[in-house]
Amino acid sequence: MNNIRLAVPKTVKKNEIIEIKALIQHPMESGFRRGSRGEVIPRNIITAFECRYNDEVVFAAELFPAMSANPFLTFYTRAVESGKLTLKWTHENGEEWTDSAEIAVT
């Protein structure tokens, strides 16, 4: 399992714009680099990221080989109701990693 870090406010006011930060530790190898002995380092990338707020997609991104290691994404959404943010990263081989956070809207 990759190490995932989220920064999500726990309590916000209704209709407030909130910042969400998501980081996953992953090498994101492009398949073009060579190791110290000249061998090609195999491609190993996360190809998609998605954030759902109470099951509605509020942010999605496609990632490509040029993306740096340990992808860090920052995005914003409007807090309309209390609920759950679910973040999902998808690897090119179909493997998925998820994490979630609850937010309380007052």
DSSP per residue, 38-77: SPBPPPB-EEEEEEEETTEEEEEEE--TTSPSS-EEEEEE
pTM of the prediction?
Answer: 0.91
Condensed to tens digits (0 to 9), the pLDDT of residues 35-74 reads: 999 999 999 999 999 999 999 999 999 999 888 999 999 9
Domain boundaries, the chain: 4-30+42-105
Residue 2 banded pLDDT, cuts 50, 70, 90: low
Is the Cα torsion angle 68, 59, 52, 62 positive or negative in sign?
negative
How confident is the model at residue 44, as a pLDDT? 96
Pick the CATH number of 4-30+42-105 from 2.60.40.10, 1.25.40.10, 3.40.190.10, 3.40.50.300: 2.60.40.10
